[in-house]
Amino acid sequence: MANDRWMWDATATFEALGAAEVALWMWEPEKDRLRLTGATRALGLGPLAPDCSSAALRALALPQDRAIAEDILRVQEPGSEVAVRLRLRGGEPCVWRGVWLEEGVRAAGVVAAEMRFAASGLDHLTGLADRKSFIAMARERLQAPGQYELIVADLDRLRRLNEALGHERADLVLAALGSRLAAAFPPGALLARIGEDEFATLAPVEVSPGAEALRRALEQPLRVAGFDIHPTLSIGAVEAPGGEDAPEAAELLRRAELAVESAKSNGRGGAAAYGRGLETDGLSRLALEGDLKGALRRGELTPFYQPIVRLSTGALSGFEALVRWRHPRRGLLMPEQFLPLCEEMGLMAELGAMMMREGARQLAAWRQRHVAAGELTVAVNLSTGEIDRPDLIADVEAIRRETGLPPGALKLEVTESDVMRDPDRAAVVLRSLRAAGAALALDDFGTGFSSLSYLTRLPFDTLKIDRYFVRTMATNEGSAKIVSSVVKLGQDLDMEVVAEGVENAGMARQLLALGCDYGQGFGYAPALSAQEAEVYLNESYVDGAAPVKARG
């Protein structure tokens, strides 16, 4: 009978591990040695096999996963389980599982591609629960009595990240945010990546750190592949009881996502809590789409003008044209309420051409009526992708002929993501626009997509500092450093610098002390109708300077 017992030999073991694309690992902390055998090459572990030190593992891990690698290496109690996700450079995400043996002398286990652990319900990129498993686990958690908070955080501008960095680098940002989310919430909280750019958490109210703690954790700057990224989030939250009165988990998630949409309507970095009033938004959106189809033709979409002021003297320098919708029933609508719909309906090119034409005509009229307005400029934003519009350069030439505006009076603001998507192509278009008589501004500078090597090659006149950094520079040391650096960069490159989001005189003084040239924001005035802007223009010339509010 004993002769019939079949034993695994080394060759058979290696063949089986190779076929299953699984490797065995053993960690001996006293010897600082990690041993690997099996399908190491297929898993991207070749540089570590057959044995390596802890330093080698840390060095090969992606930067955002190094802290996770420490979980494998940190000595734990005998019997403690090891279960972590780690991706080495050039390899697919792997799950490491094992257990600590022999009084903490060594640990051993297996490592396999994450897809091999399909039953785990993990998101392949972040290692968090995926949407389906999150709903299933939330349903189970909500059976216990208590008050729970479900938070959904949506990463703003993921498409711009993908365009500027490429999908692989943008994935690194998402993976890093997943790691930060795990670190920000207590053990036992349910965490998930529920969509391409959406994260969700569920925890009892008494242990949940809350939406703002989540924001602080995830909105810290990070550096990926040489790019400084400053993520911002739109956050929605909803509370609900557990136990017999608990709502269905999928319904609770739907409510939180409705709150996210409401937060997005307030601009980048917004937050909102669920309320029953949000339930009408879906029907409202359908009605808005129908109204938007003829709004351009009817002249309902129109430029409003926000003043841009020289900080050193308070003199009015010009205006930025910002679109508003004079809706016949809903009143004045802000851009965030309808621009996403314009983009979905393919209206952005037509809208951009209208804004450029009407803004230039209004500036020409002011210049004719007011002798002192001869140096004013008007800035118009180019929407995403508009830099590639075939008729753009011809439109600029035609508008200048029709209005008689001198070179530089019409300023076009271009986003960094548009430039970085194809810098060489952008350089050609921007030079042609400059030759056609348009001044050029790089909008939202500092949001993290810039490559300074390209900036020196592109014909920009102006850098615009994103309002987020201006608004937070008094309370956030990182924001203050970014504002200071952008101002210094503009000076070094002989560019004008405009700070957005100037809310009060204190901000204006701080920016002026840094050497910033111009400011715009609610501290001077919101975006004004053409008639209101002309009154503001007249008053600023009579008073000798544009007034700034003492407090925001």
Question: Which of 274, 141, 153 is CA-nearest to residue 213?
Answer: 153
141, HSE (Cβ side, Cα atoms, 13 Å) = 24
State which CATH number among 1.10.3720.10, 3.30.450.310, 3.40.50.720, 3.30.470.20 fits the domain covering 10-113: 3.30.450.310
Least confident of 46-55, 167-176, 291-300: 167-176
Contact 304, 534 (CB under 8 A): no
Q: What is d(CA 21, CA 43) in angstroms, rounded to the nearest whole number?
A: 7
At 403 the pLDDT is 95
Give every CB contact of residue 181 below 8 A, 6+ residues apart in sequence.
126, 128, 153, 191, 199, 201, 214, 217, 218
Helix, strand, coil percentages for the chain (3-state, nearest 5): 45, 25, 30
CA distances from 359 to 7, 291, 355, 387, 540 (A): 83, 24, 6, 18, 20
The most confident of 275-279, 317-321, 337-341, by mean pLDDT: 317-321
At 518 the pLDDT is 95
Least confident of 81-90, 250-259, 374-383: 81-90
At 175 the pLDDT is 85
Q: What is d(CA 434, CA 396) in angstroms, rounded to the nearest whole number?
A: 10
The CATH number of domain 300-543 is 3.20.20.450: yes
Residue of 197 and 8 predicted with greater confidence: 197
The residues spanned by each domain of the chain are 10-113, 131-282, 300-543
Q: What is d(CA 169, CA 147) in angstroms, rounded to the nearest whole number?
A: 38
Q: Kindly state the DSSP code that residue 47 receives in the 8-state scheme.
A: G
Give mean pLDDT, residues 415-444: 88
- Go through the chain and tell me how many residues it has: 552
At 462 the pLDDT is 94
The most confident of 96-105, 277-286, 380-389, by mean pLDDT: 380-389
Give mean pLDDT, residues 102-118: 75
At 447 the pLDDT is 59
At 515 the pLDDT is 93
Contact 164, 417 (CB under 8 A): yes
Say which CATH class 131-282 falls into: alpha beta
At 466 the pLDDT is 87
Structure tokens at 240: 């609900």
Give mean pLDDT, residues 21-44: 87
Q: What is d(CA 125, CA 37) in angstroms, rounded to the nearest whole number?
A: 25
pLDDT tens for 189-240 read 899 999 888 999 999 999 998 888 888 888 888 887 677 788 888 898 899 8
Q: How far is CA 307 from the centre of its chain?
A: 27
Contact 32, 53 (CB under 8 A): yes
Which runs of E-coded beta strand occur in 114-163? Answer: 147-155
pLDDT tens for 131-162 read 888 988 898 889 888 999 999 998 887 777 77
Which runs of E-coded beta strand occur in 257-388? Answer: 271-273, 301-310, 316-327, 331-333, 377-381
pLDDT tens for 290-317 read 788 788 889 999 999 999 999 999 999 9
Least confident of 173-177, 453-457, 535-539: 453-457
Instruction: Answer whether the bond into residue 50 is a cis peptide, omega within 30°.
Output: yes
Q: What is d(CA 171, CA 359) in angstroms, rounded to the nearest whole number?
A: 39
Give every CB contact of residue 462 below 8 A, 6+ residues apart in sequence.
411, 439, 440, 441, 442, 495, 496, 497, 498
pLDDT tens for 253-275 read 888 888 888 787 666 667 777 66
Q: How far is CA 221 from the centre of its chain?
A: 11
Reported confidence tier of residue 14, pLDDT bands at 50, 70, 90: low
Beta bridge partners of 108: 26, 99
